[in-house]
Structure 1
Amino acid sequence: MTERDGPLEAGRVRSVKSADRTIALLEYLSSADSRSLREVSQDLDIPRASAYALLVTLVRTGWVESERNGSGFRLGIRALRAGAAYVEHDDVVQRCQPVMNELSEKLGETIHLARLDGDEIVYLATCLSRHSLAVVSKPGRRLPCWATGLGKAILAHRRWSEVDALLPRTLTPRTEHTITDRAALRAELEAVAERGHATDEQESTLGLRCIALPLRFDGVVNEALSCSTPTVRLDAARETEILRALRQAQERILG
């Protein structure tokens, strides 16, 4: 690629099969504690010999680790370094982190920053609650967007046709409270857009309520800020306090 060339366009450049397989394998391993060679080969539809050669190469370079008995494979330390570097240099995280720290200190509850990626939200940063009964969602964790306050806060600022297109055909529930009907979800997103904040009413985790606000950068909402609290510590006055603090934080981040 020369200086005269513009950005690469996926439609004009053929994909590299080995690179596609490597990315698919790393994403596959990121969703599990450990996978066997047979599972990798079958689930990714890669010939066993090719899967083994790819795993050996990634183990050698530190992107994948093999278990001591050799029966399983998981992500290696280089994957951790890459993920940490992404967060460390992300402009939105750097902008939000100081405000999140202060918000966490003020409320004493778990504060999350997340970004929409496909039909999932990805946690970018977390400030943990000081209480023993607390929510723990580490950076890098993924959850279905329709089952979270963070996801709904983001989706509410998109046309329904766009939302409908990115959602899977079946909205799989995480709890008995998860909205799985498209019409009900659309109505919920319209209500979120009108009131300016979203809630997760035990839709992702039983016993947990989340209040989330959208973050609009450069005219687009791809991120959201939230406070997650066990329902046993919530009453109307506490919810009002949390929402007020979140709105103040939102203003500081965007102002």
Structure 2
Amino acid sequence: MPKLPDSEMPRTRGRPRAFNEKTEQNTIKSLDRALGVLKELAQIESATLSELATAMKESPATLYRVLTTFALHGIVEMDETAQTWHIGSEAYQIGSAFLRRTSLIDVSRPILRKLMQETGETANLGIEKNGSVFFMSQIETNAPIRAFFPPGTLSEMHASGIGKALLAHMDETQLKRFAARGLQTFTPHTLATPESLAADMVTTRERGYALDDQEKNLGMRCIAAPIQDAYGEVIAGISVSGPTTRVSTDHIETLAKSVMRAAQDVSNALGAKTSEPS
């Protein structure tokens, strides 16, 4: 069959006719560099121009032009007193469009609030993103000592309650592939070997909830349970986090029942058919 000339080729929605070309040919290098600056600043949260230039191995003059351009749109802001740059409010507005894209946030929000009120601890919602936990939503407790995972935070899966709840529902091949990347040690309690992590995944599946027992931060515990969609697939996790003084060992089972019930409520709202946790 003869190939149609470009002028007669059907146009693909969302892409120009040249969309089949290599990625490099369709990339605006200056924009790619600017977005790299934005990602770096988001990761370190606050930096002077010289600190950011050092971190990125870039010219301060180049970075200044990028930052001032973003500042014109409110995407970054500068603290004039400290001479430090931060992510701006407009970046939050743009990021919120991602959160609005899925009903998971809307469905979970009132359930997170109820979970926080019931347990007295901070309630969290997270998904897996590129091998890490991506926190999508949080309802903070009013207690003076509390966990804090603002939306957009990334955390290591093997040292996170939600991460372990998600890992427990991966198949054996996926779990081995994840562990083979290396498991960083954060505290003496971190499960930093494939064998210890695999054993904990068996326990997690059997009891229906995951436990981060001071594995990322000493003095903090997190209890999490998986959320299923209408197809019965685990797509997210919900948790409560707090200091070991309140989330004590003799209180774990009671909190776990609340967390599993909340996970069931979210799952059912998404169309899953789940049973009442025992």
Report the alpha carbon displacement of residue 49 of structure 1 after superposing the two structures with TM: 4.1
2:189–2:213 CA contact under 8 A, matched in 1: yes
AA aligned to 2:137 is A
Tell me the residue number matched to 1:137: 149
Normalising by structure 2, what TM-score? 0.79
Unaligned runs of 5+ in 2: 1-8, 269-278
Report the alpha carbon displacement of residue 39 of structure 1 after superposing the two structures with TM: 3.7
Tell me the residue number matched to 1:114: 126
Q: Secondary structure at the match of 1:129?
A: coil
Q: Is residue 2:136 matched to residue 1:124?
A: yes
Which of 225, 243, 252 lines up with 1:230 in the alignment? 243
Encode CA deviations 1:83-106: one digit per residue, 9 max, x unaligned.
344334531111111112222222
Q: Secondary structure at the match of 2:245?
A: helix
Q: Is residue 2:28 matched to residue 1:21?
A: no
Report the alpha carbon displacement of residue 237 of structure 1 after superposing the two structures with TM: 5.2
Give the Cα separation in 2 of the matches to 1:197 and 1:101: 19
Give the Cα separation in 1 of the matches to 2:99 and 2:153: 13
1:179–1:185 CA contact under 8 A, matched in 2: yes
Tell me the residue number matched to 1:99: 111
2:166–2:234 CA contact under 8 A, matched in 1: yes
Aligned positions of 1:15-164 closer than 5 A: 15-68=27-80, 71-164=83-176
1:196–1:213 CA contact under 8 A, matched in 2: yes
The answer to which of 179-188 and 157-166 deviates more is 157-166
Instruction: Determine what percentage of the aligned residue pairs are the same residue.
Output: 26
Which protein shows a greater Rg? 2
Tell me the residue number matched to 1:5: 12
Aligned residue-pair number: 254
Give the Cα separation in 2 of the matches to 1:193 and 1:247: 12
Report the alpha carbon displacement of residue 11 of structure 1 after superposing the two structures with TM: 7.8
Which of 210, 217, 222 lines up with 1:210 in the alignment? 222
Q: Secondary structure at the match of 2:228?
A: strand
AA aligned to 1:80 is Y
AA aligned to 1:153 is A
Give the Cα separation in 2 of the matches to 1:19 and 1:230: 43
Tell me the residue number matched to 1:252: 265
Q: Secondary structure at the match of 1:212?
A: strand
Report the alpha carbon displacement of residue 214 of structure 1 after superposing the two structures with TM: 0.8
AA aligned to 1:232 is T
RMSD: 2.8
Report the alpha carbon displacement of residue 62 of structure 1 after superposing the two structures with TM: 1.6
Give the Cα separation in 2 of the matches to 1:17 and 1:83: 22
2:210–2:224 CA contact under 8 A, matched in 1: yes
Q: Secondary structure at the match of 1:173?
A: coil
Which of 197, 211, 215 lines up with 1:199 in the alignment? 211
Normalising by structure 1, what TM-score? 0.85
Q: Secondary structure at the match of 1:31?
A: helix
Mark the CA change 1:57 to 1:226 in structure 2 (over 3 Å): closer, same or farther.
same
The answer to which of 129-138 and 22-31 deviates more is 129-138
Unaligned runs of 5+ in 1: none
AA aligned to 1:193 is R
Q: Secondary structure at the match of 1:57?
A: helix
Q: Secondary structure at the match of 2:80?
A: coil
